[in-house]
């Protein structure tokens, strides 16, 4: 029997989108994980983290928090992720999770100097991703959903950059052969992205961005979702995933 995948919730969707469930539900659905193949731990609300060796892999969600706030629950999770990464546990961080893994492994996270990236954005896959188990075979350019103010400003030592956008040069990286971070949201559908643009309408206008243009630009992102599904398959089917 294969060990379950651990989903670490570091936050919840914006209030207007919670009728669609929490991030763990969005992730599990997008990753095509059966309900009994995933265990959820909500670290933002104080849940303790279990031993990492009981899981086939770990997926870390996005959050409305900022890594630079150095919140107690976030720093505890970063310490846990660092230990799990060095122990060989497969990790996959999404947005905040991507940044938190980078922080845990010695990278630098901070406010993006050009501000917010939001909407359906074009991701450019870098040549070194050709041999990556999650990115190989994807189009050189593909669409993904994104919403963030902070970014990985410097990837951890030893990391391989896999993808970028026009806005953000570190949209995806791999550390060693079993740890990935993606700034984009492979678990977001077009419905989720539309909801986030609506929720951030005032902020977008205040920052000189056009929410109507962002809405018009939202589309489906099947290739981004494939990255998450490939991680779930990789984690659950490697030999070490069985007790």
The two tokens of residue 24 are 């763990």
Q: Is 185 a catalytic residue?
A: yes
Q: Is 187 a catalytic residue?
A: yes
Q: What sign results for the dihedral spanned by CA atoms 147, 153, 157, 163?
A: positive
Q: Is 210 a catalytic residue?
A: no
Q: Where are the alpha helices (DSSP H) in the chain?
A: 23-30, 72-87, 96-104, 190-199, 201-206, 211-217, 222-237
Q: Which of 98, 167, 178, 185 is catalytic?
A: 185
CB 151, CB 109: distance < 8 Å: yes
- Residue 212's SS3 state is helix
CB 5, CB 37: distance < 8 Å: yes
Q: Which of 187, 192, 194, 223 is catalytic?
A: 187
H or E element, residue 216: helix 211-217
Q: Which of 9, 44, 52, 95 is catalytic?
A: 95
Please list the active-site residues.
95, 185, 187
């Amino acid at each position: 029997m294969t060990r379950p995948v651990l989903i670490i919730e570091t936050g919840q969707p914006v209030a207007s989108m919670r009728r669609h469930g929490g991030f763990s539900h969005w992730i599990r659905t997008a990753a095509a994980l059966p309900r009994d193949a995933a265990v959820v731990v909500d670290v933002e609300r104080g849940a303790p983290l279990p031993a990492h060796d009981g899981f086939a892999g770990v997926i870390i969600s996005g959050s409305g928090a900022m890594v630079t706030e150095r919140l107690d629950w976030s720093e505890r999770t970063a310490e846990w992720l660092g230990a799990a990464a060095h122990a060989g546990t497969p990790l996959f961080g999404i947005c905040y999770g991507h940044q938190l893994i980078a922080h845990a492994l010695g990278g630098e996270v901070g406010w993006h100097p050009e501000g917010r990236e939001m909407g359906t954005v074009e991701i450019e896959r870098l040549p070194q991703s050709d041999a990556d188990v999650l990115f190989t075979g994807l189009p050189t350019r593909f669409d993904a959903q994104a919403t963030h103010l902070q970014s990985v400003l410097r990837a951890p030592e030893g990391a391989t950059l896999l993808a970028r956008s026009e806005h953000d040069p570190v949209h995806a990286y791999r550390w060693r052969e079993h740890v990935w971070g993606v700034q984009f949201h492979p678990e977001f559908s077009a419905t989720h992205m539309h909801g986030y643009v609506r929720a951030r309408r005032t902020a977008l206008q205040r920052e000189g961005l056009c929410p109507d243009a962002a809405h018009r630009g939202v589309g489906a992102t099947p290739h981004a979702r494939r990255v998450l599904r490939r991680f779930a398959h990789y984690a659950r089917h490697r030999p070490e995933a069985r007790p």
